[in-house]
Amino acid sequence: MPQDTLENAMQSLAEQDADIACVLPQVGAPAPRPRDKGFATLFTTIVSQQISTEAARAIMGRINAQLPALTASAVAAIDGQALRDAGLSWRKVEYAQGLAEAELAGTFNADALDAMNDADAIAAITALRGFGRWSAEIYLMFSLGRSDIFPADDLALRVALGRLKGLDEKPTPAQARRMVEHWAPQRSAGALFLWHYYRGAPA
């Protein structure tokens, strides 16, 4: 979402939540974090799972050198060993090839996600092997620009929420979702704020 939209959303959240109103002047509004949408971003999501940003960037550099056009047909055509040599685990090779095969078979269409509601889009993504709810919600937030997504499985998000609310321990995902229900329909802005707050909040 654009910066002005995000700042307006934060002002709305501050009016609804006294804890946000208290710390927002101290840490400020978060910056937007838009990402491209489509097959290539979903492929990159597989690559990035459970590794550092630097490692993912290096692997994608090697993959892009072999596949200048990161499309479903290109991924389906390349030998799995080439993806393994680029740095993907065999499990991630399987996920990447499965994503490409689903796109080519028409059982999944990355471009069609834009027209789906949040629940249907999440269901379509999580039906793919290698994509959990967190990955789907992150895609909806950053690639599709959905305004009311809260990826409660994110550890940093829950740690920040616990700090914001003065809890002794971080909430569970289910507890976190309940705690931010009143942030609707601006939960994406709230999630962005919590990540921003996580980096600047007192431990």
* Tens digits of residue pLDDT in 71-92: 999 999 999 999 999 999 999 9
Q: Cite the residue boundaries of each domain of the chain with CATH code 1.10.340.30.
A: 39-143
Cβ contact 110:83 at 8 Å? no
- Distances, alpha carbon 94 to alpha carbons 11, 47, 81, in Å: 44, 11, 11
CATH architecture of the region 39-143 = Orthogonal Bundle (1.10)
Under a CB-based contact definition with an 8 Å cutoff, are residues 43 and 78 in contact?
Answer: no
Options 1.10.390.10, 1.10.1670.40, 3.90.226.10, 3.30.70.260; CATH of 3-33+148-200:
1.10.1670.40
Q: What is the pLDDT of residues 123-167, one digit of tens each?
A: 999 999 999 999 999 999 999 999 999 999 999 999 999 999 999
Q: What is the DSSP string of 142-181?
A: HTS--SS---TT-HHHHHHHHHHTT-SSPPPHHHHHHHTG
Q: For CATH 1.10.1670.40, list the domain ranges present in the chain.
A: 3-33+148-200
Asked whether the predicted pLDDT for residue 21 surpasses 80, the reply is yes
The candidate with the shortest Cα–Cα distance to 41, out of 142, 129, 127, is 142
Place of tokens 């321990």: 169
Residue 199 has pLDDT above 90, yes or no: no
For the entire predicted model, the pTM comes to: 0.91
